[in-house]
Amino acid sequence: MLNLLLLADDADPCNSKDLTPSQAIHCHMVNAGQSASYTGASNGATADVTLIALISGIINAALAITGVIVLVFMIYAGYTWMTAGGDSDKVTKAKETISRSVIGLAIVLFSYAIVAYVVPMILCASGHASACPGGAITP
């Protein structure tokens, strides 16, 4: 049984004595990715598509962080209101913070909707059929 494992290792091109350690690691990572059916950008995607996907990911991350900030402001405003103890200035401040947080949340949601709609349409218009609704390029 051990001999079979050793023979299998000798047949693996990643275990070649001619490879540097970094090349061997890269080879093993590529093999692991292929075993997991991951093809990365080698599946026909171009640099434009990956750049647009990167920009879209950055925008989505920024919108998510903004949403978390809105949530923190809402919690802070609720806490301020609950601990106001009848102080009308604190209650007014809390109400203003809540209304501003709701406006901010609306802006974040509309921004996300725009990004979720515009980025695929840009990809579709630039000739990438995989981004088009139904997978076809519309004239």
State the chain's mean pLDDT as an integer.
74
Q: Break the chain into its structural domains and give their ranges.
A: 2-38, 45-135
Phi (first) and psi of residue 84, to 5 degrees: -65, -30
Query: Which pLDDT score, from 0 to 100, does residue 113 have?
Result: 85
Residue 126 has pLDDT above 70, yes or no: yes
Q: Of 137, 109, 102, give the one whose Cα is nearest residue 123.
A: 137
Span 38-75, pLDDT tens digits: 555 554 555 556 776 787 788 888 888 988 999 999 99
Task: Tell me whether residue 115 is exposed, middle or buried, using C-beta atoms within 10 angstroms of its C-beta: 0 to 12, 13 to 18, 19 or more.
Answer: middle
Residues 6+ apart with CB under 8 A from 80: 90, 93, 94, 97
Q: Is 3 exposed, middle or buried (0-12, 13-18, 19+ CB in 10 A)?
A: exposed
- Summarize the confidence of residues 16-34 as an average pLDDT: 69
